[in-house]
Chains A and B, each alone.
Chain A
Amino acid sequence: DVKVTQSSRYLVKRTGEKVFLECVQDMDHENMFWYRQDPGLGLRLIYFSYDVKMKEKGDIPEGYSVSREKKERFSLILESASTNQTSMYLCASRPVGGSGANVLTFGAGSRLTVL
């Protein structure tokens, strides 16, 4: 089975801190995504990467940046955390071809609280 691992399940940070959320997938998927999940709003796309060093802004990129230096790893960076970034963050990956094409596989999520 494809595995998407988010290194931190729960984080508590202070306003203004720099925050790194790490995501690693083990099935050589080309595409990787970061979504933010808030009650009543569903999942909203922050950034996605369709290949190494390639990225595109999603619907809510403000206050976030990303890094994809290796195919298996996609990092979400909050340069200066704010309280309105308290949320659940979900990483996902998907292959471009093959039988699993276009199907997202999600990690378990990282719940971030900014005080």
Chain B
Amino acid sequence: AQSVTQPDIHITVSEGASLELRCNYSYGATPYLFWYVQSPGQGLQLLLKYFSGDTLVQGIKGFEAEFKRSQSSFNLRKPSVHWSDAAEYFCAVGGVGRRALTFGSGTRLQVQP
């Protein structure tokens, strides 16, 4: 069975500081990996995805993530956080065809001025 673990429930960073959100997954084959962001009262928006190829992927809003197969990880990073990045972030894993995505429990990011 596929699963995702986001070990940090809540993270607080200062504006301008760097950010890393952790994600570990379990999947029986080559995974498709995703990061989504949810602002308060909104649905989820795709930040970035990894399907194959270069293990460092770039997304929207200055985010990037690195796929590390040996560690079963897909951590999200941003070099300098902005106050507007405060939101909840979800990592997800899934495959092709009829398999649905499995999401982690989310990490809530708070940004201090």
B105 with A41: CB separation less than 8 A: yes
Q: Using a Cβ–Cβ cut-off of 8 Å, how many residues does chain B contribute to the interface with A?
A: 26
A40 with B104: CB separation less than 8 A: no
- Give CA–CA (A31, B95) in the complex, Å: 13
Contact of A102 among B43, B51, B104 (CB under 8 A): B51
Is the CB of B87 closer than 8 A to any CB of chain A? Answer: no
- Give CA–CA (A50, B96) in the complex, Å: 12
Is the CB of A42 closer than 8 A to any CB of chain B? Answer: yes
Output the nearest chain B residue to A104 by Cβ-Cβ distance: B101
CB contact list, B13-36 vs A, under 8 A: 32, 34, 36
A42 with B32: CB separation less than 8 A: no
For chain A, the bracket of interface size reads: 20 to 34
Question: Within 8 Å CB of B105, what residues of A?
Answer: 40-42
**Chain B: residues with CB nearer than 8 A to chain A?**
4, 6, 9, 32, 34, 36, 41-46, 49, 51, 90, 92, 94, 96, 98, 100-106
The 9 closest A-B pairs by CB, nearest first: A106-B43, A42-B105, A43-B103, A106-B44, A108-B43, A42-B103, A50-B98, A48-B100, A42-B106
